[in-house]
Amino acid sequence: MLNIYLLRHGQTAWNADGNRYCGRTDLPLTETGLTQAHAAAAQLKNITFDAVYSSPLERAYRTAQIACGGQAVKKDERLIEADFGRWEGKPKEIFIPENEQIWQNWCEDPEQTKAGETGESAGEVIKRVNDFYLSLQAQHTGGNILVVAHNGVNRLYLAYKLGMPVKNYRKLVIDNSSVTLFQLDAAGELSLVHLNSKL
């Protein structure tokens, strides 16, 4: 059984500024974000990790470095946040009126709809993230793994693995630097142990 400790990165300026969509824009953590990452480290201090993986974006990589207490962190491109296309850098209040139909299409069928018209579909995101976890299982037959990624990719993957309609992924709440724990068995079945935990 593989124990995956999944974190969302700490706060960025865009998280703080009306939750502007931040996909591939490489923003650093705010002071609050750094504090959140240290809080996650305290929460995880008694767990020994066999490996630590992170999105290559700075906000996730820095969170991973802090949260794991100084272990080596391996960057993996498959964990990068979704490409939000024309929604990048904007809150919903701004981009929905620009093209309401694209937003409706995304809400109804994100697996086939490209985010922001020019970004990734949820199906494309799920494919690459699922590929990451399949390769993880091939390398690690058990133990504890820390993975630090992003709100969009984390929720889309979990919705898919839990058998939810993918369009309901936003019903999963994952705060900055919160810890989600799930287990993957040998057959790849996921069991959700903790969601959005800040014990």
> Is residue 125 one of the residues assigned to a domain?
yes
CATH of the domain at 140: 3.40.50.1240
Note the maximum CA span of the chain: 48
The total of structural domains in the chain comes to 1
Q: Please check whether residue 116 lies inside any domain of the structure.
A: no
Is residue 187 assigned to a domain? yes
Residue 108: inside a domain: no
Q: Quick check: is 32 in a domain?
A: yes
Query: Is 31 in the active site?
Result: no
Other CB atoms within 10 A of residue 135 CB:
12
Residue 104 confidence (pLDDT)? 98
pLDDT below 50 — which residues of the chain? none
Domain that holds residue 171: 2-82+121-197
- 69 belongs to a structural domain: yes
**For residue 55, which amino acid is it?**
S
The reported pTM is 0.97
pLDDT score for 147:
98
Q: Containing H/E element for 23?
A: none
| 137 located within any domain | yes
Residue 140 among the catalytic residues:
no
In a domain, 156, yes or no: yes
- Per-residue pLDDT of 51-64, as tens digits, reads 999 999 999 999 99
Residue 199: its pLDDT value, please? 61
Catalytic residue among 81, 88, 117, 120: 81
pLDDT at 18: 78
